[in-house]
Structure 1
Amino acid sequence: MLAVVAAAFWTINAHWTEVRDTIGAMSWTTLLPAFVALPIAIACSTLSWQFLVDEIGEPIGAARGAQIFLVGQLGKYLPGSVWAYVLQMELGRRAGLARARIFTATVFSLAVAVVAALLTGALVIPSLIENDASLAPLQWLYLLLPVGLVCLHPRILDRLVGLGFALLRRPQRDHPVRGRAVALSLAAAVASYVFFGAHLWLLADGVGANGAGLLLTCVGTMAVAMISGLFFFVLPSGAGVRELVIVTALAPHVGTGTAIALAAVSRVLLTAADIVTAAGAAAVGVYERRRNGPIHHDPGIGDDEA
C-alpha cells in the first residue's frame, strides 16, 4: 500500500510543471466543478462493479464494497495494472469474501466497462483516427464489442460464472445471474464515462473551447482514453496513452499546447480524486465494521481465514 500511494503521488509530481501554469490561468469556478465531477464518475464505476459482486453472493453494502473497490483501484498506479485486481481480491478476502467471487465480479465488470466504453467512444473514434493516424489501431477494439455483448447476456454470463466457481471449487450461488443486475452495471458504467467526459469538457470550456458537440466529444474521448489505458496495462494507469487520446481530441479546439496542458491537469485531478475517494471509502468502511461488525462470510470462508 505504501508503494501504491507513493506511485500515485509520483504521478502528480511528474506532471506538475505542465499543470502549474495551466491551473494558475484557470478560475476556481472551472477547477472545482471539474474536480467534483470525478468523484461522481468514480462512484458510478464503483456501483457498476458492486452490482455484479452483490449478484453473485450475499450483498455486502455500499460502504464495504467501496472500500474494497476504491482502495484496491490504487494498485493501477504501479506498473502492470494487474496490481489493482490483486489488491481487490485480498481486501475482499480480508472482509470475508471469497477470492473467486471478487475475481469473477472484477473480470465481468471489466467486460461491462469495455462494452460501455466502445458504445460511448463511437462518438469520437472516426475523428480521432482522422486527426492522428497512429490511433488507427483503436478501431480494432470494436472486434471485441460483439463478443462482449454476447458474454453479457445473463444466461451466458451465468454459465461462465458457474464454470469459474466450479473450477475454483467454490460453492455455487443461490440464484442465477439476472439481467437486471447486468443492465444496471452497464448503465452505471456509461454514466461514469458521462461524468468523466463532463470533467474534461469543464476544463476545456475554462480555457475558451467551444463548438457544437464539444460535450459529446469529451464524453467519447474519456471513454476511449480510459479503455485504451486498460489495454496498455504495463503502464501505470495507462500513462501516456490516455493523454495521447485526449490531446488528439482537444487539439482542434484549443491548440496542441493547451491540449497537452489540459491532459496533464486532468491526470493530476483524477489521481487526486482517486486518493481522496479511496481514503474516504477506507474511513467509512472502518466505521461501518466497528458499528455493525464483520460482514457475513461467503460459504467456506471462516473467521480465521478472512
Structure 2
Amino acid sequence: MTEGRKNWWKPAIKWTLVVLVLWFVFVRVRELLGRDEFQASEFELQPLWLLPAAGLYLVGWLPSVWFWRRLIDQSGGNVSWFHATRAYYCGHLGKYVPGKAMALVIRAALLKSHGCRPAIAALTGTCETLLLMLAGGLTAVALSPILARGLDTSTWPEAARWAVRHALVPAGLVVLGSAIVLPVLARLLSVLTRKLTPEELRQDSTVRITTGLLASGLVGFVVCWFIQGLAVGCLLRSAGAEVTLDQWPVWTGAAALATAGGFFALFAPGGVGVRELLLIETLRIQPEIGPAEAVAAAILMRLVWLVTEIIAAGGLYWSDRETASPVTPSGPQTPSDS
C-alpha cells in the first residue's frame, strides 16, 4: 500500500471539518437573518467605502514585511524592501491551499534569486507569522473588556464585571506580562519556528530571535492590527453601519480575534468559515452594530480581502517576473500566513 493511500484519512478529516464549520456558519447566519431586528434593518451597500478598506488592508501588513525583512537580515540574508514586499504579498495566496505550507514555499521561491536562501526565507516566514498571530491574540485579549460591553454581565463574577468597567487595566496587564516574559518567549519562538517549518525547507538553518527584535516586532504587529481594525470599520461603513472613530478599538479587537482564530484552525484554508463566524459573533453584540451589518461585514471581508490579495500579488509578481523563481509545492503542514 502506498504512503498516499495510508494517509487518505488526513485530508478526509480536514475537509470534513471544513464542511462542518461552513454548515454551522450557514445555519448561524440564517438564524440571524430571520430575527426581527434584522428584518427591521435597512441594509444599503455603500461601495465607495470598500476602496479605503482594501487600501488599509494592504497597508496594514507592511509592519509584517518590515519585521520579516529585519529577521532575514539578522539571519544572514540581504533582501530589498521591494523583493520582500513582493514575496510577502504573493505568499498571501498560499494560505488558501490546504495545509497552509504553500505560503512559505512561495515566499522562499521568490526570494531565492534576491539575496536569501530558501531555508532562511521559510524559517523567518514561519517566525513572522507565529509572532503576528501571537500579537493578534494578545491584542484581542487586551481589548476583550471593550468587546464584551454589549453582553449582559449581570451574572458574571465580580472580577469580570470590574474588568469590563475598567478596560485599561486588563490591557495594561497584558502589556506588562508580555514585557516580563519576552526573554522566554524569544527562546520558545526560536524552537517553535524550527519545529513548525517543513524539514525540506528549513534544512540545517536556524533563526535566532533576540529580545530586542521580538519587542520591536510585537509593537509593529500591534500597529498592524489597529490598521486592520480601521479596515474593518470601513467595511462596516460600507455595510451601512453608523460607526464612529471612537469604536476603533472594537474593530481592532474583532479583526485580531477573527484572523488569529482562523489561522489556528489549521484545517481551514485561509481560515474560511472560522474567521467569518468569529467576526460575526464579535460584531453583532456591539450596541452600534446590528446583525445585518455584522453578517455583511464578514462576507465583504472575505470577498474584498481575496480580490485585493489577488490584484496586489499579481501586480507585484509581474512587475519583476523576469527573475521569478519557479514555485513548487511542499507536502508537510505548518502555520504560515494570516
Q: What TM-score results when the alignment is normalised by the length of structure 1?
A: 0.69
The CA deviation string for residues 105-155 of structure 1, in whole angstroms up to 9 with x for no partner, is 1222123113311221124445469869xxxxxxxxx9xx979844543x7
Going from structure 1 to structure 2, the CA distance change for 1:131 and 1:107 (only over 3 Å counts) comes to farther
Q: What residue is the counterpart of 1:113 in the other structure?
A: 132
Q: What residue is the counterpart of 1:244 in the other structure?
A: 277
Q: What TM-score results when the alignment is normalised by the length of structure 2?
A: 0.63
Coordinate RMSD, CA, aligned = 3.8
Q: What residue is the counterpart of 2:14 in the other structure?
A: none
Identity score, percent? 22
Larger radius of gyration: 2
**Distance apart, 1:84 and its partner CA:** 1.4
Q: Does 1:227 align with 2:275?
A: no
- Give the 3-state SS of the residue equivalent to 1:122 in structure 2: helix
- Give the 3-state SS of the residue equivalent to 1:209 in structure 2: coil
Q: Provide the C-alpha distance between the structure 1 equivalents of 2:63 and 2:300, rounded to a whole number of angstroms.
A: 22
Q: What residue is the counterpart of 1:57 in the other structure?
A: 76
- Show structure 1 runs of 5+ residues with no match: 1-14, 133-141, 295-306
* Structure 2 letter corresponding to 1:82: A
**Distance apart, 1:183 and its partner CA:** 3.2
Q: Provide the C-alpha distance between the structure 1 equivalents of 2:213 and 2:223, rounded to a whole number of angstroms.
A: 15
The structure in which a higher percent of residues are helix is: 1
The CA deviation string for residues 46-88 of structure 1, in whole angstroms up to 9 with x for no partner, is 2232221222113211111122222122111122222212322
Q: What residue is the counterpart of 2:307 in the other structure?
A: 272
Q: Does 1:33 align with 2:52?
A: yes
Q: What residue is the counterpart of 1:7 in the other structure?
A: none
Q: What residue is the counterpart of 2:229 in the other structure?
A: 197
- Show structure 2 runs of 5+ residues with no match: 1-25, 27-32, 34-41, 153-173, 326-338
Q: Provide the C-alpha distance between the structure 2 equivalents of 1:123 and 1:183, rounded to a whole number of angstroms.
A: 17
Query: Does structure 2 retain, via aligned residues, the 8 Å contact 1:63–1:285?
Result: no
Q: Provide the C-alpha distance between the structure 2 equivalents of 1:161 and 1:237, rounded to a whole number of angstroms.
A: 20
Query: Does structure 1 retain, via aligned residues, the 8 Å contact 2:60–2:224?
Result: yes
Q: Provide the C-alpha distance between the structure 1 equivalents of 2:316 and 2:217, rounded to a whole number of angstroms.
A: 20
Query: Does structure 2 retain, via aligned residues, the 8 Å contact 1:68–1:91?
Result: yes
Q: Provide the C-alpha distance between the structure 1 equivalents of 2:193 and 2:268, rounded to a whole number of angstroms.
A: 29
The CA deviation string for residues 241-273 of structure 1, in whole angstroms up to 9 with x for no partner, is 111111112213332122111111111111122
The CA deviation string for residues 11-63 of structure 1, in whole angstroms up to 9 with x for no partner, is xxxx9xx9xxx9962151x2222222111112233223222122211321111
* Structure 2 letter corresponding to 1:92: L
How many pairs are equivalent? 254
